[in-house]
Structure 1
Amino acid sequence: MQELAPGGATERARAIYDYGDTAIFASSADPRFHMLLYVPPAAAEGRKVDLLVAVHGTGRTSALEFRDGFAEFGLYNDCAILCPIFPVNVRGDGARSGYKYIREGDIRYDEVVLAMVAEMAEKYGQDWSQFAMFGYSGGGHFTHRFAILHPEKLWAACIGAPGSVTLLDPDRDWWVGIRDLAEKFGRPFDAAALAKVPVQMVVGGLDLETWEITHKPGAAYYMEGANDAGATRPERLRSLQKSFEAAGVRVTFDEVPGVSHDRLKCLGPVKAFLTCTLKEMRA
């Protein structure tokens, strides 16, 4: 991955571009997709660090905001931050939301993330066979669906204000439910594994606009039951909480008072949750 450089220039370049706030890297597995990281000093010193994958929303700019917003957390908790970037229009059709539902045409976004994590674990000499994941808005879509598919990969899942939710309903097909999960993704639902994952759900108490999250007939992701979990993001997230808890998952629910759909104002509770979870895990 390193360009040739004489002597100490290579090490200087690594210090500038590969540690701290990194450059943007293309995924070797699929260069259509990119990532940027915060890598704390502990990793540069050869020590073990944990990993948080932070997933952007529809605008994609939050990838940079999350990298920077979690950097201090990463510094003081020996935790790297990896922010994948899934571009709009990746298949040339103008689509914005494919990643939220995990599968888009021949793309499996869960596998894209797993390949990124494996590549960066090798690059930095880390064991990231398990990691935490946070996502807000579109990233909240992705995070809870990734947790349903790959609970064994997560030491925590923080689900922020998704516009739509997949309930653990065995009588409805994906994405509203999970009846055909094995058929669609080759993975059966593992309730016991999901129950082991510490889960946080976070949303602003005033996150009440519905213009972007109401599914209408004829829309790309409309299906029967698409709006049944509730009208607003808090309502839908409460439905997801009940569904997860019914499956044995312990959920910490944080409704941030006075906050609308503002990702940065929801980061405080997420950092607190992850700090406590790391402390318990390391103990």
Structure 2
Amino acid sequence: MPASRPITLAALKALDPRHPGIDLMTGRTPLFACRADQRFSYCLYVPRDLDTTRPHPLVVTVHGTERDATGYRDAFAALADTHQCVILAPLFPAAIGDPEDIDNYKLIDYRGIRFDQLLLEMTAEAALRWPIATDSFFLHGFSGGGQFALRFLYLHPDRLAGASIGAPGRVTLLDPTAAWPQGTSDLPDRFGTEVRPDALSSVPVQLLIGELDNQPHPLTPLNRTESMLLLRDNLLAHGLAPVLDVVPGAAHDGDALVPAAAEFLARLLPRPGGPVPDRPGTAAP
């Protein structure tokens, strides 16, 4: 990934209300190329009545393998309007470096690209323009995005105020005997960090799955429901208190899981108009 360079962006609060860019920088924004690596981009949903004089909570939503970043952002727009938060959705295109690749971002590192660092670059860049708090933000991902969200949680628990992990096909367990991505034995060599149980246990975690999401998965002997139950038991054994939410009648359908994810996030978000705490709330076991 190219080295970061100083960025000069016009902050939303500095623009005249009559500026033509206001319509593009609030509501459903276009996709913006990430200055750290312009092969990747992100879009936002910014409530048009957002108070630009103070920072607001940030919710990051990560797409699945189909890469519908804008659609997944739009699914959480009502949450943003109600709770005065901002939605950021990264776009990690398929076929980066390999025309046959569709999985790159899910395992965090791929051909020298660190997708976790890319997301942090995007949030830092967005904070130069929009009034968002990025030291601690909320993360939700579905399917491939659920894989990313889980692994990002392991690497950066100090950056998360809450994590909603939706229906990952393959899970990484807190397992010191297995290498990434099955386990975490090689985190120091691969990522330069250790598993931090105390930090992980302070992050509210939702495990989210459809009741009917039980079809065989081609890359693992377990289906998604079996993988989620295995993950839940593993996290519990390491001192975390994940909430397992099963959506009745839903199969592998990100849209069907959005209401449950939004409800989980709404419980953690601060009251509209209130301060943005480092750890805004805790999840019930």
Rounded Cα–Cα distance in structure 1 between residues aligned with 2:55 and 2:249: 39
- 1:162 is the counterpart of 2:140: no
Give the corresponding residue for 2:276: none
1:111-136, Cα deviation, whole Å (9 max, x unpaired): 00000000001212433111000000
Displacement, 1:9? 8.5
Alpha-carbon distance change, 9 to 193 in structure 1, aligned in 2, over 3 angstroms: closer
User: Which structure's residues are more often helix, by fraction?
Assistant: 1
Q: For the structure 1 residues 198 and 9, does the alpha-carbon distance in structure 2 shift closer, same or farther, using more than 3 Å as the test?
A: closer
Shift of 1:48: 2.3
Aligned CA RMSD, in angstroms, stands at 1.9
- The aligned residue for residue 195 of structure 2 is 189
**Given the alignment of the two structures, is residue 126 of structure 1 paired with residue 117 of structure 2, yes or no?**
no
**1:248 match:** 239
Please give the TM-score of this superposition, normalised by the length of structure 1.
0.88
CA distance in 2, matches of 1:199, 1:13: 40
TM-score, with length taken from structure 2: 0.87
Distance in 1 separating the partners of 2:25 and 2:98? 31
Q: Which residue of 2 aligns with 1:214?
A: 218
Aligned-pair CA distance for 1:278 = 1.5
Query: What is the one-letter code of the residue matched to 2:268?
Result: T
Secondary structure of the residue that 1:13 maps to in structure 2?
Answer: coil
Judge conservation of contact 1:42–1:48 (CA < 8 Å) in 2.
no
| CA–CA distance in structure 2, aligned partners of residues 10 and 79 of structure 1 | 20
Structure 1 range deviating more: 107-116 or 92-101: 92-101
Count of aligned residue pairs for this structure pair: 263
Distance 1:187 1:243 in 2: 20
Distance in 2 between the 1:11 and 1:188 partners? 49
Structure 1 counterpart of 2:269: 278
Q: Pick from 254, 260, 264 the counterpart of residue 251 of structure 2.
A: 260
Between the aligned partners of 1:104 and 1:17, the Cα distance in structure 2 is 32
Q: 1:179 to 1:23 in 2, by over 3 A?
A: same
- Residue 149 of structure 1 aligns with which residue? 155
Aligned to 1:55: 62
- Paired residue type of 1:175: P
- CA apart distance, 1:36: 0.6
Change (3 A) 1:214 1:119: same
Is the CA contact (8 Å cut-off) linking 1:203 and 1:266 kept in structure 2? yes
Contact 1:42 1:49 in 2 (8 A): no
One-letter code aligned to 1:163: G
Which of 223, 236, 243 does residue 227 from structure 2 map onto? 236
Gaps of 5+ in 1: 216-226
Q: CA deviation at 1:27?
A: 0.1
Change (3 A) 1:11 1:96: farther
Q: Contact between 1:19 and 1:44, CA under 8 Å: does it hold in 2?
A: no
**How far has the Cα of 1:244 moved from its partner?**
1.1
Specify which structure has the bigger relative contact order, considering alpha-carbon pairs within 8 angstroms and separated by 6 or more residues.
2
Local SS of the residue matching 2:245:
strand
The match for 2:19 among 12, 16, 21 is: 12
8 Å Cα contact 1:43-1:124 kept in structure 2:
no
Q: Which amino acid aligns with 2:205?
A: V
The letter for the 1-side match of 2:211 is G
Calculate percent identity across the aligned residue pairs.
37
Secondary structure of 2:139's counterpart equals: strand
Give unpaired runs (5+ residues) of structure 2: 1-7, 272-278
CA distance in 1, matches of 2:21, 2:232: 43
Q: Which moved more, 1:94-103 or 1:270-279?
A: 270-279
1:66 pairs, out of 61, 68, 72, with 72
For 1:19-58, what per-residue CA distance to the aligned partner results, in whole angstroms no more than 9, with x for missing partners?
Answer: 1111110000000001110012354532321001100000
8 Å Cα contact 1:110/1:146 also seen in 2: yes
**What residue is the counterpart of 1:113 in the other structure?**
119
